[in-house]
Structure 1
Amino acid sequence: MIAGGWMAWTFPVALFFWVIASLLVLFTILAIRFPETPRRGILRIETTRGDRLFISLLGSAFICLGWLFFAGPPLWWGLALCLVYAAAVFRWV
């Protein structure tokens, strides 16, 4: 078996992992450069930028799975919905 043969490394898959890795690096740099104090949002829990990133990524995964179940393979509108969701999480959570 070829190493990495279990994964279909297409451009969209590679781009997905590149974006996630870039977000983690960016948020690490932001945390070092501009430390923040946790804030309380509509969930009434204290969250930092990293917490809100995690919540938005987790919610986006469920949005995409739901989109695939109810609407089918083209995920462009699902991606747009995920971006709106992430903006809302960063604004109000």
Structure 2
Amino acid sequence: MNFSWMAWTWPTALFFTIIALLLIGMTVWEWRAPGGNPRVGILRFETTRGDRLFISLLGSAFINLAWLGLIGPQLWWSLALSVAYAIVVFRFV
């Protein structure tokens, strides 16, 4: 297959690799400790580990898009903000 038409860069490849590793890690975590103990956090509805991963990935996408649109292509600070956001989501949601 020839993927030369795609704009594959190292950051793009790293992004998709991290997403794949997160999904594999969550699968292993669920296999080792099934259930994940659903809990009610600050959003006032029951969430599981998978729900919190989805919320953190979705929020991180919006953080990075907003950063890109408002500040520019230097995304290292938005990455740090996204990691902090994910930690808060897993801790309090």
Distance 2:4 2:39 in 1: 44
Cα drift, residue 4 of structure 1: 2.3
The residue aligned with 2:27 is 28
> Could you say what secondary structure the match of 2:3 adopts?
coil
Cα drift, residue 10 of structure 1: 1.2
Tell me the percent identity: 63
**After superposition, what is the alpha-carbon deviation per residue over 1:55-75, rounded to whole angstroms, capped at 9, x for unaligned?**
000000000010011110100
Q: Could you tell which deviates more after superposition, 63-72 or 3-12?
A: 3-12
The residue aligned with 1:85 is 85
Output the aligned Cα RMSD: 1.2
Distance 1:51 1:3 in 2: 36
Which runs of no fewer than 5 residues in structure 1 stay unpaired? none
Cα drift, residue 76 of structure 1: 0.6
Cα drift, residue 7 of structure 1: 1.8
Cα drift, residue 6 of structure 1: 3.3
> Could you say what secondary structure the match of 1:4 adopts?
coil
Large movers: runs of 4+ above 3 Å:
none
| TM-score of the pair, normalised by structure 1 | 0.92
| TM-score of the pair, normalised by structure 2 | 0.92
**After superposition, what is the alpha-carbon deviation per residue over 1:19-38, rounded to whole angstroms, capped at 9, x for unaligned?**
00000000001001112221
Count of residue pairs brought into register by the alignment? 92
Which runs of no fewer than 5 residues in structure 2 stay unpaired? none
Amino acid across the alignment from 1:89? V
Q: Could you tell which deviates more after superposition, 36-45 or 4-13?
A: 4-13
Distance 1:87 1:41 in 2: 14
